[in-house]
């Protein structure tokens, strides 16, 4: 599903080859004594899907705001589409598309009118406006609803219209700030299809923030950000691999015999609380041979591949789910909401 | 870390400097949006009519008994230009204050992050609000015959011009106020505490002569005063009024004992409009 574009070693924070869409060096943002973003470095290649993953208040939105020229960096520098975000703010804005967390459509206008408004605001040449509107509506499959007032749209449709609008002026980079918050899983999947199509057909760089693990999976590379710093940056697969190998958990009739048998066959095995844990390269392929190798009856087998949740837990010592929603104390939530 | 990074403005080259033609298109687009929204919300057109009509007929008839008729001229005819002004002012304010809605529903952000100047946005908003308000005021002209006001083509043209000027001033004022309001709940309060006193103390509903000193000061500080007076002057000048009626229902505004000519009144309105424009621009610049 995720097509990894051919590029240099993705584990490098700064990409050294290929066109660069976003380049960030030592970016820092302080609000008074508190540093919302601390000395962040990374770069994103043209056509890449890049995810900022972290809990609310981690500095995702602040970073995106600086890249979109909506907030001034305290120090450090960043270029977007080749333009400095401070000295060439207007040029940056012309070359980026923005989809905010909250809806920013005029629901008393039709989809087409919203798009036309945007096209004029972003200086799309007159002759290109109509074809471009038709094109982006087609990309998000809203062509037949173009004459309808946005007030009649569902949340998912409105979100897709916003993505279409963000693409209208052929930006180099499309910023999506928590694009799927409040959407049901089906709509989210649909939206992701749209986004991937945009990337493939228009070659746009997608820069998104999210606190949904499963969503970050769509990205070519993920930066995990916590307390204003990037604590890990790599492809989803590499991040998972860095947490540890796949494992197969076994419960057998005779763990001692099984342990000895597996060790003899060269497996890395460890006694766990209720059985054995075998470390393997690929859990799916390993289950069969392991069960054969133990030589004693097997009661249960559980294969496990690290998820991004494990990755987050590994790097931060916390689960990301604790960081948002109901589990968060009232004060912290209000604080996070203001920051976002 | 060797870098090819910062030096690659990828492929596409776009003119990034502000072009006047682009900015004019933006003004036109923001203006058009105001019009679309106005035409689309018929309830707003109707409700914008109800209150002035209420004032014209209910207050008009109610007060006529008290004020009586002077030289064939009654209170309804006096209050008519004021009520036209009222409908213009309320529509202009309402239109400008829709910025509060835009903020609430996020659309303001869509406008503010666009690579256009704030000036274009405020200009477009002002032009839109002014057009809509003048249109609403012009609809009020159909009521003129019902209260015995004679309309001539010249008068209609004069009234529409004055409505536009008044609407521009009030829209910029409204945008300025709206830019300072963060919450939708505050909107009603502001409308009640600002708009109603401004209307009542503008001479729209009663003559401004013979008021106590402190009240006179407030009326002279009120920008609307200088917009209502010219409107009434042009309407009255087209009527066949006796000298007694003209004395009874004065239209001129005096400042420090000096009777202002209409040109000066209009100039004052223009100055207010410019000041409000700058304040509105500043208010919006503060937002993000």
Question: Does the pLDDT value for residue A305 go beyond 60?
Answer: yes
CA separation for the pair B159, B84 (Å, rounded): 9
- Which of chain B's residues have a Cβ under 8 Å away from the Cβ of A20? 4-6, 8, 10
Confidence at residue A125, expressed as pLDDT on a 0 to 100 scale: 92
Share of chain A above pLDDT 90, in %: 35
- Which of chain B's residues have a Cβ under 8 Å away from the Cβ of A102? 106, 109
In Å, how far is A92's CA from the nearest CA of chain B?
A: 9
Confidence at residue A319, expressed as pLDDT on a 0 to 100 scale: 67
Average pLDDT value for chain B:
84
pLDDT band at B99; cut points 50, 70, 90: confident
Strands (E), chain A: 20-31, 34-45, 49-53, 75-80, 83-84, 96-99, 173-177, 205-210, 221-226, 229-234, 246-252, 268-272, 275-280, 298-304
Sole residue written with tokens 């202002």: B260
Q: How far is CA B143 from the centre of its chain?
A: 20
Residue of B nearest to A95 (CA): B14
Alpha-helix residue ranges (DSSP H) falling in A122-217: 126-139, 155-167, 185-202, 213-216
Question: Does the pLDDT value for residue B48 go beyond 70?
Answer: yes
Question: Does the pLDDT value for residue A187 go beyond 90?
Answer: no
Residue of A nearest to B110 (CA): A104
Confidence at residue A150, expressed as pLDDT on a 0 to 100 scale: 94
CA separation for the pair B284, B288 (Å, rounded): 8
Among partner residues B1, B109, B111, which is closest to A14 by beta-carbon distance?
Answer: B1
pLDDT tens-digit profile of B148-183? 888 899 999 999 999 999 999 999 999 888 888 877
- Which of chain B's residues have a Cβ under 8 Å away from the Cβ of A93? 113-115
Question: Does the pLDDT value for residue B228 go beyond 80?
Answer: yes
Q: How many CB pairs under 8 A join A and B?
A: 110
Interface contact A110, partner B, CB < 8 A: no
Confidence at residue A45, expressed as pLDDT on a 0 to 100 scale: 92
Interface contact B40, partner A, CB < 8 A: yes
User: Taking residues A171-176, what's their average pLDDT?
Assistant: 92
pLDDT tens-digit profile of A53-86? 888 778 888 899 899 988 899 999 999 999 999 9
- Of the two residues B257 and B28, the one the predictor is more confident about is B28
- Which of chain B's residues have a Cβ under 8 Å away from the Cβ of A116? 29
pLDDT tens-digit profile of B119-155? 899 999 999 999 999 999 999 998 888 888 888 999 9
Paired with B32 in beta bridges are: none
pLDDT band at A33; cut points 50, 70, 90: confident
Interface contact B14, partner A, CB < 8 A: yes
Q: Which ipTM was obtained for this model? A: 0.82
Residue of B nearest to A72 (CA): B288
In Å, how far is A142's CA from the nearest CA of chain B?
A: 20
- Which of chain B's residues have a Cβ under 8 Å away from the Cβ of A153? none
pLDDT band at B17; cut points 50, 70, 90: low
Under an 8 A CB cutoff, do B40 and A102 touch? Answer: no
Confidence at residue B34, expressed as pLDDT on a 0 to 100 scale: 92
User: How would you classify the pairing of strands B258-259 and B254-255?
Assistant: antiparallel
Under an 8 A CB cutoff, do A118 and B8 touch? Answer: no
pLDDT band at A335; cut points 50, 70, 90: very low
CA separation for the pair B259, A330 (Å, rounded): 62
Confidence at residue A337, expressed as pLDDT on a 0 to 100 scale: 37
CA separation for the pair A32, A19 (Å, rounded): 36
Residue of B nearest to A170 (CA): B12
Paired with A230 in beta bridges are: A225
Other C-beta atoms lying within 10 Å of the C-beta of residue A5: 14
CA separation for the pair B63, B212 (Å, rounded): 21
Confidence at residue A16, expressed as pLDDT on a 0 to 100 scale: 45
Least confident of A200-204, A222-226, A316-320, B134-138: A316-320
Question: Does the pLDDT value for residue B11 go beyond 60?
Answer: no
Task: Look up residue B149 and give its two tokens.
Answer: 């006001």
pLDDT band at A18; cut points 50, 70, 90: low
Interface contact A293, partner B, CB < 8 A: no
In Å, how far is B124's CA from the nearest CA of chain A?
A: 12
Question: Does the pLDDT value for residue B245 go beyond 50?
Answer: yes
Phi, psi of B103, rounded to the nearest 5 degrees = -65, -50
Confidence at residue A97, expressed as pLDDT on a 0 to 100 scale: 93
- Which of chain B's residues have a Cβ under 8 Å away from the Cβ of A128? none
Per-residue b/e over B113-131, b at no fewer than 16 CB within 10 Å? bbbbbbebbbbbbbbbbbb
- Among A9, A49, A42, A52, CA closest to A238: A9
- Of the two residues B286 and A92, the one the predictor is more confident about is A92
User: Taking residues A208-215, what's their average pLDDT?
Assistant: 81
pLDDT band at A328; cut points 50, 70, 90: very low
- Of the two residues A294 and A13, the one the predictor is more confident about is A294
Confidence at residue A92, expressed as pLDDT on a 0 to 100 scale: 92
Alpha-helix residue ranges (DSSP H) falling in B105-152: 107-112, 118-139
Under an 8 A CB cutoff, do B105 and A16 touch? Answer: no
Sole residue written with tokens 């042009």: B234
Question: Does the pLDDT value for residue A234 go beyond 80?
Answer: yes
Q: Which residues contact A83 (CB under 8 A, 6 or more apart)?
A: A91, A92, A95, B9, B16
Interface contact B66, partner A, CB < 8 A: no
- Among B238, B263, B233, B266, CA closest to B249: B233
pLDDT band at A195; cut points 50, 70, 90: confident
Among partner residues A19, A93, A108, which is closest to B115 by beta-carbon distance?
Answer: A93
User: Taking residues B246-263, what's their average pLDDT?
Assistant: 81
Q: How far is CA A319 from the centre of its chain?
A: 17
Under an 8 A CB cutoff, do B114 and A122 touch? Answer: yes
- Which of chain A's residues have a Cβ under 8 Å away from the Cβ of B16? 83, 88, 90-91, 94
Question: Does the pLDDT value for residue B68 go beyond 80?
Answer: no
Question: Does the pLDDT value for residue A317 go beyond 80?
Answer: no
Interface contact A159, partner B, CB < 8 A: no
In Å, how far is B39's CA from the nearest CA of chain A?
A: 11
CA separation for the pair B219, B205 (Å, rounded): 12
């Amino acid at each position: 599903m995720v097509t990894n574009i051919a590029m240099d070693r993705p584990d490098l924070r700064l990409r050294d080859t290929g066109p660069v869409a976003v380049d960030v060096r030592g970016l820092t943002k302080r609000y008074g004594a508190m540093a919302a973003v601390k000395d962040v470095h990374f770069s994103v290649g043209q056509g890449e899907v890049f995810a900022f993953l972290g809990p609310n208040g981690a500095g995702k939105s602040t970073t995106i705001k600086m890249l979109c020229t909506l907030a001034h960096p305290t120090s450090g520098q960043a270029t977007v589409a080749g333009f400095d975000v401070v000295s060439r703010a207007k040029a940056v804005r012309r070359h980026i598309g923005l989809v905010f967390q909250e809806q920013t459509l005029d629901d008393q206008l039709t989809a087409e009118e919203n798009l036309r408004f945007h096209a004029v605001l972003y200086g799309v040449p007159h002759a290109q406006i109509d074809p471009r509107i038709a094109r982006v509506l087609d990309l998000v499959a809203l062509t037949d609803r173009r004459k309808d007032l946005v007030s009649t749209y569902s949340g998912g449709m409105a979100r897709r219209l916003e993505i279409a609008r963000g693409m209208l002026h052929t930006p180099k980079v499309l910023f999506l700030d928590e694009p799927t918050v409040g959407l049901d899983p089906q709509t989210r999947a649909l939206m992701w299809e749209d986004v991937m199509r945009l990337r493939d057909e228009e070659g746009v760089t997608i820069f998104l923030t999210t606190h949904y693990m499963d969503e970050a999976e769509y990205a070519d590379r993920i930066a995990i950000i916590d307390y204003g710093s990037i604590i890990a940056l790599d492809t989803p697969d590499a991040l998972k691999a860095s947490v540890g190998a796949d494992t197969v958990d076994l419960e057998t009739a005779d763990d001692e015999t099984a342990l000895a048998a597996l060790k003899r066959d060269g497996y890395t095995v460890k006694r766990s609380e209720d059985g054995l844990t075998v470390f393997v390269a690929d859990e799916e392929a390993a289950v069969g041979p392991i069960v054969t190798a133990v030589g004693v009856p097997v009661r249960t087998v559980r294969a496990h591949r690290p998820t991004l949740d494990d990755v987050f837990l590994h790097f931060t010592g916390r689960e990301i789910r604790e960081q948002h929603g109901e589990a968060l104390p009232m004060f912290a939530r209000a604080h996070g909401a203001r920051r976002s | 870390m060797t870098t090819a990074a910062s030096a690659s403005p990828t492929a596409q080259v776009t003119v990034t400097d502000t072009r006047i033609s682009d900015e004019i298109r933006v003004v036109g687009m923001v203006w058009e949006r105001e019009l679309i929204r106005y035409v689309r919300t018929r309830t707003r057109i109707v409700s914008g009519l109800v209150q002035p009509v209420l004032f014209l007929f209910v207050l008009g008839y109610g007060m006529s008994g008290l004020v009586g008729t002077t030289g064939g001229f009654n209170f309804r005819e006096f209050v008519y230009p004021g009520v036209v002004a009222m409908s213009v002012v309320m529509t202009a304010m309402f239109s400008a204050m829709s910025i509060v809605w835009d903020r609430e529903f996020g659309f303001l952000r869509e406008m503010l992050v666009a690579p256009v100047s704030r000036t274009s946005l405020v200009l477009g908003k002002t032009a839109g609000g002014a057009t809509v308000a003048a249109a609403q005021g012009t609809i009020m002209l159909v009521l003129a015959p019902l209260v015995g006001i004679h309309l001539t083509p010249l008068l209609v043209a004069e009234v529409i011009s004055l409505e536009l000027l008044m609407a521009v001033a009030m829209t910029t004022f409204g945008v300025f106020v709206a830019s300072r309001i963060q919450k939708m709940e505050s909107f009603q309060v502001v409308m009640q505490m600002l708009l109603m006193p401004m209307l009542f103390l503008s001479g729209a509903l009663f003559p401004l002569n013979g008021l106590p000193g402190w009240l006179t000061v407030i009326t002279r500080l009120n920008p609307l005063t200088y917009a209502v007076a010219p409107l009434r002057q042009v309407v009255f000048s087209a009527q066949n009024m006796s000298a007694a009626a003209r004395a009874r229902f004065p239209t001129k505004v005096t400042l420090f004992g000096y009777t202002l000519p209409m040109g000066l009144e209009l100039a004052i309105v223009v100055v207010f409009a410019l000041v409000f424009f700058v304040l509105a621009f500043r208010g919006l610049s503060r937002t993000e």
